[in-house]
Amino acid sequence: MININAKFVAAELTPGLENGEYRIPDGSSVIDLIKHCEKQSGAAVPEKNYQFMYPMYNGKAIKLDSPLREDGTLHLCRVVMGG
């Protein structure tokens, strides 16, 4: 088990999820963490929102399916879009 300090920076993408410390199995993905947070909060994140999420783990960009293997901080930000 690992401890993840989750910070949902783009709250509009993760309605109802709360910032905080979460304990999840080693090797869980960012999506697994989101699902875990949904269960604890009773909220549901629309899957269409995943395409706009930009996860940063311990200060480095990762993918939603990347495994989390150590204690750390996850910032779930919004993809920067522009023209």
**pLDDT tens, position by position, 7-47:** 999 999 999 999 999 999 999 999 999 999 999 999 999 99
pLDDT of residue 59: 95
User: Where do the domains of the chain lie, and which CATH numbers do they carry?
Assistant: 2-78 (3.10.20.30)
Over range 63-76, report the average pLDDT.
96
Q: How many residues does the chain have?
A: 83
Structure token pair of residue 73: 């901080």
Q: Examine the pLDDT at 54 and tell me if it is beyond 80.
A: yes
**Which of 75, 82, 80 has the alpha carbon at shortest distance from 11?**
75
Where residue 12 falls (left for φ over 0; alpha for ψ -120 to 50; beta otherwise) is alpha
pTM (2 d.p.): 0.90
Query: What is the pLDDT of the chain when averaged over all its residues?
Result: 94
Report the candidate in 45, 54, 51 with the shortest Cα–Cα distance to residue 14.
45
Residue that is written with structure tokens 């899957």 in the block: 47
Residue 81 pLDDT > 70? no
